[in-house]
Each structure stands twice: as structure tokens, then as C-alpha cells.
Amino acid sequence: MIESNLINNSLKFVENYYAVQDPQLPYHNLDLALSYAKVASQLVKKTDMLDTQKENLVIAALFQDIGYAKDRKNHEEISSKIAHVFLKSQNVSTERINLITQYILATKDGYEVNGDIELLMKDISLSDTSSKNYLDNIDKLIEEESLLQGQEFSELQFIENHISFIKNNPFLSPNAKKKLAERRMKNLNKLMKMKPKESSAMAASKTAQTQLKTTLRNHINLSSIADNKANMMLSINTLVLTVGLPLMSGQISEDKYYAIPIIVMAVTSTVSMIFATLSTRPVKMSGYTDLAQIPLKKTNLFFFGNFFKMNFDDYENGIQKVIKDDPILENSITRDLFFLGKALGKKYSYLRICYNIFLIGVSISSILYILVSVSHGFID
């Protein structure tokens, strides 16, 4: 740290002030004040600033958070007043006092900095985020937030707030960018890795998981039932066309009107078979998934139709991305459920048409056959 009589006197005052400060804060304390002053000394060391300007900046760094315990939201104003009273007692000129207190006020959120020194002071106030010990102080910060807010402050809240704070408050001065930015970025990356994963509603609720499993199983069972019904209709209509109609056609020689119910039955069986086949026809599948679509939640790698043309390495990379990201994984499950339901709906729609045609066609054909038979017997 830069040394001078005024800096030494300021340091003694700050040490005494923090020693009796109430409440004693776990983070905004003498250690933080000393770290600010040390960073200020490092940033101005090899600059063309005047010695007085360097001294002013170090003193402002020492005092900048001294009023934090009294009013965390407006501590800059309180800190500047405390610095003003002290500096006046040291017979510092009014002009110089005003400069130092203005540097302290320049650290306030939303303040528009004016000049390179204020810009440097602003970066000094953010330098704790580039400290080697920054991540070690997380518990202290959480404890302090809980103390000042009068309620428990969770680790998740802290990490989210500080990730946002660091991202929204970059270093602006060339010296700070050069000497502090790299370490700060490392701290930010570590902080983001520490962010606890929030449990999604699906992961947290056993009821939701059970319901999803039950629904998927029901859809699969219903699909199997639909296929069995379709196969039954295909078998029945095949028998009608290959056995029933040839037997009935022999009666046409007795009465040509027997051709009408036979034709109706033939059309009925043919159309029924068409819709039964449509209900069992597989959907169109590309067999390939663009891995870039995975983060966009536009595909489902659990469905074979989306990967059977892919090579194993691509599929493995894709499935690892899905498994590691809960929202993507849940989206895949949801998409599987949705499109299975869509396919099931279409399958049953075709089956309903098939059964309706068969019911109506058989009824009409039977009625016509009876009418022709009655008419033929009456003539005889």
C-alpha cells in the first residue's frame, strides 16, 4: 500500500472505527477496506497520476464502505460524511476533501462517473469480485445478508444475485481490465458452477412422475389394443372377400339382384380394410436428428424414428446433452408423451371409421340380401 502520513492516520482511524462498529459485519469490515486500499495502490502505482491524486484514491478506497453497517442502501453518503469529518480534523484543504468524498460517492450504483479517476474508483469498489479469496467469503456474505435483512438468505439467492451483479458491472478502466478482469472471470465461472440446480416440478414430484409413467404405459397398451382391433378387422374382411363373397356369388345365377348385396359387401370390406391398414401404417420418420436442435428442444432422441440413421458417436453425444440438462430431458419426455398421444388419436380415428363402415355396410348388405331372398321366394 502507498504510504504517507495522511494515509497512515486514515488507516488508524479506519481500524479504530471498525473495531467498535455495531453491528460487526462478517464481510464489510476492516479486511475488505484494506483490500480496497491495496488494489487502489496497485492500480495507480505505474501511472502518471500525481502523488496527491494517488493518495486521495487510496484514502477514498479505505473509507468507501465504512458506513455500510449503518445504512447499507445509502452507505456511500454516510461513508463520505465520516471521511469528511476525519479529513477536516487532519487540516486537509476543503478542495481536497471534496475530491475524496466525491470519489466515495462515485461508487454508488447508478452514478455516472466523471473522469478517469472516478472511473478507476468505481472499478476499485468492484475489485472484491476479483479477489483470490472471493469464493471463500461466500458464507460470510450470506451470513451478512441474513443479518442485515433480518431473514435467512439462501445460497441460491446469493449466487444468482452475484452472478447477475458481476455480469452487469464490468470493469471499465484500462488498468482494472488488465490486472483484475482475468481473475474476476475465473471467479464468475466458479460461481456459476456452484449454482445449485433447482429441482423442476417433474423431478420434485413423485406424483407427477407416477402419472407420467402411468400415462405412457396406458398409451402403449392402447396402441397395442388398437393394432389388435385393426388386425381383427383385416382378418374378418379378408375372409369375407376370399371365402364369403365367392360362395354368395353363386346365387347371382338364380337372381341377378343378389349382385347388389354382394357388391355392397365387397365395397364395405375393401374400404374397411383400407382404414384398418391406415390405422396400423407407421408414421413417416427421418431417422436423423440435427444435434443443434437439442438445446432448442425441437427433437426427442428417445424415439427411434429420430435416430436410426445416425451413427453411434453422434447419438451418444446427443443423448448425453439431453441427460445432463433437466429441462431438455423433461421436454423429451413431454414430447414423447404428446406425439405418442397424437399418433394414438389418429390410429383410433381410422379404426372408428373402419368399424362404422363395416357396421353400416354389413347391415345394408344383409338387409338387401334378405329382401332379395324374400322377393325370390315370393316369385317362386
What 3 state SS string does 156-184 have?
Answer: HHHHHHHHHHHHHCCCCCHHHHHHCHHHH
Least confident of 105-109, 196-200, 362-366: 196-200
Whole-number pLDDT of residue 199: 52
Region for residue 65 given its phi and psi (left: phi exceeds 0; alpha: psi -120 to 50; beta: otherwise): alpha
Give yes or no for a contact between 148 and 68, defined as CB atoms under 8 angstroms apart: no
**Contacts with 55 (C-beta within 8 Å, 6 or more apart), sequence order:** 2, 4, 6, 7
**Contacts with 233 (C-beta within 8 Å, 6 or more apart), sequence order:** 272, 273, 276, 351, 354, 355, 358
Phi, psi at 162, each rounded to 5°: -80, -30
- pLDDT, tens digit, 9 for 90 and up, residues 352-366: 999 999 999 999 999
Task: For the chain, give the mean pLDDT.
Answer: 87
Report the pLDDT averaged over residues 58-62.
95
Whole-number pLDDT of residue 301: 86
* % of residues, the chain, pLDDT over 90: 40
Report the pLDDT averaged over residues 167-182.
89
Q: How confident is the model at residue 153 (pLDDT cuts 50, 70, 90)?
A: low
Tell me: pLDDT of 340 over 50: yes
Task: Select, from the ranges 159-173, 267-281, 330-344, the one with the highest average predicted confidence (pLDDT).
Answer: 267-281
Tell me: pLDDT of 197 over 60: no
Q: Using CA atoms, how far apart are residues 291 and 189, in angstroms rounded to an integer? A: 25
Give yes or no for a contact between 135 and 191, defined as CB atoms under 8 angstroms apart: yes
Q: Using CA atoms, how far apart are residues 32 and 126, in angstroms rounded to an integer? A: 11
Least confident of 40-54, 191-205, 332-346: 191-205
Report the pLDDT averaged over residues 39-62.
91
DSSP state of 305: G
Whole-number pLDDT of residue 269: 92
What number of other Cβ atoms are within 10 A of residue 210's Cβ?
Answer: 10
Tell me: pLDDT of 378 over 60: no
* % of residues, the chain, pLDDT over 70: 94
What number of other Cβ atoms are within 10 A of residue 214's Cβ?
Answer: 10
Least confident of 111-120, 143-152, 333-342: 143-152
Q: Which of 40, 59, 198 shows the shortest CA–CA distance to 126?
A: 40
139: cell is 458464507
Whole-number pLDDT of residue 252: 79
Our measurement of the distance from residue 135's CA atom to the centroid of its chain's CA atoms, rounded to an integer in Å, reads 24
Whole-number pLDDT of residue 380: 45
Q: How confident is the model at residue 339 (pLDDT cuts 50, 70, 90)?
A: confident
Q: How confident is the model at residue 232 (pLDDT cuts 50, 70, 90)?
A: very high
Q: Using CA atoms, how far apart are residues 103 and 118, in angstroms rounded to an integer? A: 6
284: cell is 413417416
Q: How confident is the model at residue 151 (pLDDT cuts 50, 70, 90)?
A: low
In this prediction the pTM is 0.54
Q: Using CA atoms, how far apart are residues 340 and 321, in angstroms rounded to an integer? A: 23
Whole-number pLDDT of residue 162: 83
Tell me: pLDDT of 105 over 90: yes
Report the pLDDT averaged over residues 63-85.
92
Whole-number pLDDT of residue 375: 77
Report the pLDDT averaged over residues 277-295.
85
